[in-house]
Amino acid sequence: MPNRPNRPNTGAAPLMIAVLGAAGRMGSTVCDAVQGAPDLALGPRLDVGDDVAALAGRGVSVAVDFTVPSATEANVHALIDAGIHAVVGTTGWTEDSLARVRTHLAEDGRGLGVLVAPNFALSAVLAMRFAAQAARYFESAEVIELHHPNKVDAPSGTAMHTARAIAAVRTQAGLGTGPDATESTLDGARGAVVDGVHVHAVRLRGLVAHEEILFGNPGEQLTIRTDSFERSSFMPGVLLATRTVAERPGLTVGLDGYLDLG
Amino acid sequence: MPNRPNRPNTGAAPLMIAVLGAAGRMGSTVCDAVQGAPDLALGPRLDVGDDVAALAGRGVSVAVDFTVPSATEANVHALIDAGIHAVVGTTGWTEDSLARVRTHLAEDGRGLGVLVAPNFALSAVLAMRFAAQAARYFESAEVIELHHPNKVDAPSGTAMHTARAIAAVRTQAGLGTGPDATESTLDGARGAVVDGVHVHAVRLRGLVAHEEILFGNPGEQLTIRTDSFERSSFMPGVLLATRTVAERPGLTVGLDGYLDLG
Amino acid sequence: MPNRPNRPNTGAAPLMIAVLGAAGRMGSTVCDAVQGAPDLALGPRLDVGDDVAALAGRGVSVAVDFTVPSATEANVHALIDAGIHAVVGTTGWTEDSLARVRTHLAEDGRGLGVLVAPNFALSAVLAMRFAAQAARYFESAEVIELHHPNKVDAPSGTAMHTARAIAAVRTQAGLGTGPDATESTLDGARGAVVDGVHVHAVRLRGLVAHEEILFGNPGEQLTIRTDSFERSSFMPGVLLATRTVAERPGLTVGLDGYLDLG
Amino acid sequence: MPNRPNRPNTGAAPLMIAVLGAAGRMGSTVCDAVQGAPDLALGPRLDVGDDVAALAGRGVSVAVDFTVPSATEANVHALIDAGIHAVVGTTGWTEDSLARVRTHLAEDGRGLGVLVAPNFALSAVLAMRFAAQAARYFESAEVIELHHPNKVDAPSGTAMHTARAIAAVRTQAGLGTGPDATESTLDGARGAVVDGVHVHAVRLRGLVAHEEILFGNPGEQLTIRTDSFERSSFMPGVLLATRTVAERPGLTVGLDGYLDLG
């Protein structure tokens, strides 16, 4: 059954959603989004010091975790013990911590679902997937990311990830680096080179978070652009995840695992 | 085995390619492109009045047909009889004519491949596919196509096709038409409405053929843009098709059927 | 002396700024912006029922009016009587009401400045000016405006204004309507036609207010795009106006009259 | 009297235009463009070894020079002696060689006009001018240029020129470098820095010559983009120059000197 983004499930009791980190910026935005969705009900809001285990037996179906790296793994294990599906946007997960969750879910045996996702913006998640699909079909590929000027890292993590994904596909398809006859250059003009893919970072007052992925062949160009204008851009993805997690037993890493891209 | 776009097959004798309609604008561009590809060899060039059946037994592996609607079906049947795979860019195919090719291929039984494709621009074919994949995840979707001012139809066939594909996915996903509070409008301002999707056609001197597909959710936008700058934009797709057709027995409609989008 | 946008005047006592309509959405944003500017001081904040005349003699240099159409003209006359320069963003001004302000300023004789401006977004004001400058040099010109889907009018007032300005320049330069060979069209596809210029209106969830002005000649395109992401986009223009109004005696209509575009 | 781009002068005998370097790529494109303009007549076509002085007395009004750096200055002096206005697109001019033309024109005393211009693409010339006009009004400014991958220098000369022009205006307006909190960066990610302005160079198969100039303030963005799709993009500017040069006595450097940007 396809998931139904942007559309409430109808004809059923609303799913009760708990929010961990509910007083934080992301957490409070999640609370608002859940309250605005007719098929979801906002349940307990937890913050620092609250006992996750106490959620058991209170009718909570799914918990959304936007807390801190030092707390999130323990939260997820407690949610599994409480029989609650988990949607996690907190960063800081490692291969080891993910493996422990996978093991716990298998031992639990009740078919619970856990999603750990670094990015819930549907446009960004889809852009990344489309870039990987397109990469084998073009001679040239470059990435431009554009952000507000308060950002401390350049390029963005998303742009690095995109470039690496494109590079991996190009390698697999037997494509080398893209054509580039540059002989005379000013330092930095051609951007950073990530696994052979050039990445350019713009910092401009007024912007939030934007990425353009450019592909070129003789006589044609394909451009995939994603714009996140504000924090609320994560909410359609978070709501989609809360509606889907119960149907996807086990651990899923990355929201694209929940998307129906057939 | 994945197909290898933009990269010649190596370590093998070149495939011999015949071109039907070789004197036409598209056909002569195909001849140039084949000659520029180290893994392909340009074989017989046919035009009006030449006998397709005479290609049999001359080492031709694949024939590319850019002729005219009144000739193309007969050409394909003759190519099947001659044991030659066919890549067809000529328009004018109907469900009936496609069905006759399907039947002929089945009766022939030698595993020949035929591709009939309305568009060989990889960027356009991929954009259409990505639009269909993305459509279920966004509240809003609109299409802007931009062409040279000598074009006689508006919107373009590609934009109409894109809008219909988006609309079909939205319907299947239970999404209605996009939000639109417009009360006061100047005639035409909101574009043409194709199955509920708004389509805008720009005509501007200097342009060739361009399409932007816009998707919106609260706080985020996804844009897929494709630019065809010149006729050569079809060549990477045509070459990919000539390299792939022998591995795809039967009739395939649309170049996306040859793309590896897993 | 050139005005100095985005940069506080230094080495001088801060200008005291009063805000009329201070409790409204725009007015309160102005208050915040003034408080954040080191060379400006936020003075009295007035709202419905407060007496504008009482501002006299309190050290106020400039008043910013974001009130309502029914109040703004009386406010401006009271400000002139009080010897205070006025920056007005309220709509509803007519040729007659502007003429009365012009007369009052002339009779007053103290060299006070009044700015009445429908739009304080610098990017929008500059885009309009650039469009008028470019219009005579291109065969083709079209306008695309993109807004949030709650907007009730289409096309936007800004896009209508832009199209009319382009059309006026084209007429003056002896250019007719742009080339367009469209014969077969779906209703609305080519947009609204404003004085011969095609205008397309996109409505997409997630957007705020955006405009693209496209110019085309054989082989070349010029695009001017302006994005307003949020209400704060008006503040750089409002601050520039408060710093400039005292140097421009008389009535000025439109922020572009304060810009130094030599 | 305003010049009339894109529109033939009417009601008068056609201007006779000579072309120097007529066998070259640019020169032959100029010949085609002149032949396509009803108010212009293509006169003598000269190439290497032809005698420029022999043009005198043959009814030639204007000569267009697209030759080589080693020939162009002598050509211009010969044209002045022959009483012919000159439009020059050849590179290689220095302050000294320009000064000699200026002196010669003054001594000649017949009011001849000479235009020496590095770029005839109207969109590029206008974009540069608009960028300089806008620069003082925005906190942030960056330049992205995108070219075909056979280009040997990065950034392009046009982008360098644009960045320097923006930087000069910012300095004059008392603006420092744009805000940028980047602490952790991959080498080259933030582009080349030209007089404090960041410039990014993309190289992509399929592109020709494109430039985006981005300006940002809180909540708003202004983008000026220029696309040159092919060599013909220079022709509207060349034709405008041939129609204008007789009205502009003396030496003019840069096509923007002929534009009516009031």
Domain ranges of chain C: 15-120+232-258, 122-229
Taking alpha carbons only, the member of B170, B254, D142, B137 closest to residue A127 is: B137
pLDDT value for A31: 97
For tokens 């590929």, name the residue. Answer: A141
D129 CB-contact burial (10 Å; exposed 0-12 / middle 13-18 / buried 19+): buried
Q: Do D227 and B206 touch (CB under 8 A)?
A: yes
All residues of chain A having their beta carbon less than 8 Å from the beta carbon of residue D155 are 185-186, 189
Name residue B96's amino acid: D
Query: In this complex, which of D182, D190, D218 lies closest to A206 when CB atoms are compared?
Result: D218
Mind spelling out the 3-state secondary structure of C94-112? Answer: CHHHHHHHHHHHHHHCCCC
- Chain B residue closest in CA terms to D235: B206
Q: Does A233 touch chain C (CB under 8 A)?
A: yes
All residues of chain B having their beta carbon less than 8 Å from the beta carbon of residue C194 are 186
Q: Do D203 and A198 touch (CB under 8 A)?
A: yes
Query: In this complex, which of A6, A175, A218 lies closest to B175 when CB atoms are compared?
Result: A6
- When pLDDT is cut at 50, 70 and 90, the band that residue D261 belongs to is confident
Cβ atoms of B245 and B114 within 8 Å: the answer is yes
Q: Do A199 and D186 touch (CB under 8 A)?
A: yes
Report whether C170 belongs to an annotated binding site: no
Min Cα–Cα distance to chain D from C63, Å: 22
Min Cα–Cα distance to chain B from A97, Å: 28
Calpha distance B186→C147 (Å, rounded): 16
Calpha distance C139→C134 (Å, rounded): 11
CA distances from C92 to A200, B130, C196, C251, C252 (A): 45, 46, 27, 16, 16
A98 CB-contact burial (10 Å; exposed 0-12 / middle 13-18 / buried 19+): middle
The percent of residues in chain A predicted with pLDDT above 70, rounded, is 95
Dump pLDDT digits (tens) for B80-121.
999 999 999 998 999 999 999 999 999 999 999 999 998 899
pLDDT value for B1: 31
Average confidence (pLDDT) over A239-262: 94
Buried b (16+ CB within 10 A) or exposed e, C204-214: bbbbbbbbbbb
Query: In this complex, which of C133, C220, C231 lies closest to D233 when CB atoms are compared?
Result: C220
Cis status of the peptide bond prior to B69, with omega within 30 of 0: no
- Chain B residue closest in CA terms to C159: B189
Residue B89, both tokens: 């860019």
Q: What is the ipTM of this complex?
A: 0.88
CA distances from A32 to A60, A115, A134, D112 (A): 17, 21, 36, 72
Checking if the pLDDT of B46 tops 70, the result is yes
Q: Do A227 and B221 touch (CB under 8 A)?
A: yes
Residue C107, both tokens: 């009779």
Dihedral sign (CA D15, D21, D24, D25): negative
Calpha distance B152→B150 (Å, rounded): 6
End-to-end CA distance of chain D: 13
Q: Does A158 touch chain C (CB under 8 A)?
A: no
Contacting subunits of C (3+ beta carbon pairs below 8 A): A, B, D
Min Cα–Cα distance to chain A from D193, Å: 8
Q: Do D137 and C233 touch (CB under 8 A)?
A: no
Query: In this complex, which of D122, D134, D220 lies closest to C220 when CB atoms are compared?
Result: D122
Helix (H) / strand (E) element for B140: namely strand B140-147
> Which of the following is catalytic: D77, D85, D104, D147?
D147
Residue D93, both tokens: 């001019």
Average confidence (pLDDT) over D174-199: 96
Q: Do D229 and B229 touch (CB under 8 A)?
A: yes
Min Cα–Cα distance to chain A from C227, Å: 9
Count the neighbouring beta carbons within 10 Å of the beta carbon of residue A110: 8
- Whether A151 is catalytic is yes
Which residues of C are marked as active site?
147, 151
Query: In this complex, which of A174, A224, A236 lies closest to B217 when CB atoms are compared?
Result: A236
Query: In this complex, which of C4, C224, C228 lies closest to D220 when CB atoms are compared?
Result: C228
Cβ atoms of A43 and A18 within 8 Å: the answer is yes
Report whether C117 belongs to an annotated binding site: yes
Give the dihedral of Cα atoms A48, A49, A53, A59; nearest 10 deg. -60
Cβ atoms of C158 and C127 within 8 Å: the answer is no
Best of D203, D225, D229 to mutate (most A CBs within 10 Å, chain A): D203
Taking alpha carbons only, the member of A202, A224, A225 closest to residue A148 is: A202
Cβ atoms of D88 and D72 within 8 Å: the answer is yes
Report whether C82 belongs to an annotated binding site: no
Checking if the pLDDT of A4 tops 50, the result is no
Taking alpha carbons only, the member of D190, D145, D136 closest to residue D167 is: D136
Cβ atoms of D207 and D142 within 8 Å: the answer is no
Residue A22 Ramachandran class (φ > 0 left, ψ -120 to 50 alpha, else beta): alpha
Cβ atoms of B213 and A226 within 8 Å: the answer is no
Backbone angles phi, psi at C192, to 5 degrees: -80, 150
Q: Does D180 touch chain A (CB under 8 A)?
A: yes
Calpha distance A209→A121 (Å, rounded): 11
All residues of chain D having their beta carbon less than 8 Å from the beta carbon of residue C126 are 130, 133-134, 137, 222
Cβ atoms of A204 and B214 within 8 Å: the answer is no
pLDDT value for A6: 46
Checking if the pLDDT of C217 tops 60, the result is yes
Helix (H) / strand (E) element for B158: namely helix B157-172
Taking alpha carbons only, the member of A74, A225, B49 closest to residue A63 is: A74
> Which of the following is catalytic: B147, B161, B200, B210?
B147
- When pLDDT is cut at 50, 70 and 90, the band that residue D3 belongs to is very low
DSSP D5: T
Average confidence (pLDDT) over B126-138: 96
Residue C48, both tokens: 């419905």
Report whether B118 belongs to an annotated binding site: yes
Domain over C122-229 is classified CATH 3.40.1190.20:
no
- When pLDDT is cut at 50, 70 and 90, the band that residue C10 belongs to is low
Min Cα–Cα distance to chain D from C223, Å: 5
Q: Which residues contact C4 (CB under 8 A, 6 or more apart)?
A: C243, D173, D174
- Residues comprising chain B, all counted: 262
The percent of residues in chain B predicted with pLDDT above 70, rounded, is 95
Calpha distance D169→D162 (Å, rounded): 11
For tokens 């070149």, name the residue. Answer: B14
Average pLDDT of the residues of chain B: 93
Buried b (16+ CB within 10 A) or exposed e, D184-221: ebbebbbbbbbebbbbbbbbbbbbbbbbbbbbbbbbbb
Dump pLDDT digits (tens) for D31-41.
999 999 999 99
Rg over CA atoms, chain B: 20
Interface of B with C in 188-227 (CB under 8 A): 188-194, 198-207, 214-221
Min Cα–Cα distance to chain B from C119, Å: 21
Binding site, annotated residues of D for NAD(+): 21-26, 89-91, 117-120
User: In 3-state terms, what secondary structure has residue A111?
Assistant: coil
CATH class of D15-120+232-258: alpha beta
Calpha distance B199→B144 (Å, rounded): 6
- When pLDDT is cut at 50, 70 and 90, the band that residue C232 belongs to is confident
CATH class of B122-230: alpha beta
Calpha distance A131→A223 (Å, rounded): 9
Average pLDDT of the residues of chain D: 93
- Chain A residue closest in CA terms to D202: A190
All residues of chain D having their beta carbon less than 8 Å from the beta carbon of residue C7 are 173-175
For tokens 């910026």, name the residue. Answer: A25
CA distances from A72 to A87, A116, C208, D61 (A): 11, 10, 35, 80
- When pLDDT is cut at 50, 70 and 90, the band that residue A2 belongs to is very low
Dump pLDDT digits (tens) for B3-35.
444 455 556 789 999 999 999 999 999 999 999
Residue A153, both tokens: 């890292």
Average confidence (pLDDT) over D138-151: 97
Beta strands in chain D (DSSP E): 15-20, 40-46, 62-65, 85-88, 113-116, 140-147, 153-154, 184-185, 192-194, 197-203, 209-217, 220-228, 250-253
User: What is the pairing mode between strands A184-185 and D153-154?
Assistant: parallel
Dump pLDDT digits (tens) for D48-89.
989 999 999 999 999 999 999 999 999 999 999 999 999 999
Checking if the pLDDT of A97 tops 70, the result is yes
All residues of chain B having their beta carbon less than 8 Å from the beta carbon of residue A227 are 220-223
pLDDT value for C80: 98
Q: Does A71 touch chain B (CB under 8 A)?
A: no
Q: Do B2 and A127 touch (CB under 8 A)?
A: no
Average confidence (pLDDT) over B169-196: 96
Q: Report the DSSP beta bridge partners of residue B203.
A: B147
Residue D211, both tokens: 């430039």
Taking alpha carbons only, the member of C113, B152, A189, C91 closest to residue D143 is: A189
pLDDT value for B154: 96
- Chain B residue closest in CA terms to D123: B206
Best of C126, C210, C230, C232 to mutate (most A CBs within 10 Å, chain A): C230
Best of D6, D10, D125 to mutate (most C CBs within 10 Å, chain C): D6
Calpha distance A47→A34 (Å, rounded): 17
Dump pLDDT digits (tens) for A102-159.
999 999 999 999 999 988 999 999 999 999 999 999 999 999 999 999 999 999 999 9
Average confidence (pLDDT) over B46-58: 94
- When pLDDT is cut at 50, 70 and 90, the band that residue D209 belongs to is very high
All residues of chain B having their beta carbon less than 8 Å from the beta carbon of residue A228 are 219-220
User: In 3-state terms, what secondary structure has residue D220?
Assistant: strand
CA distances from C13 to B92, C39, C222 (A): 77, 7, 44
Q: Do A149 and D181 touch (CB under 8 A)?
A: yes
- When pLDDT is cut at 50, 70 and 90, the band that residue C13 belongs to is confident
Task: Give the distance from CA A173 to its chain's centroid.
Answer: 26
Checking if the pLDDT of D181 tops 70, the result is yes
Min Cα–Cα distance to chain C from A232, Å: 9
Binding site, annotated residues of D for (S)-2,3,4,5-tetrahydrodipicolinate: 148, 157-158
Q: Do C223 and D224 touch (CB under 8 A)?
A: yes
Min Cα–Cα distance to chain B from D255, Å: 20
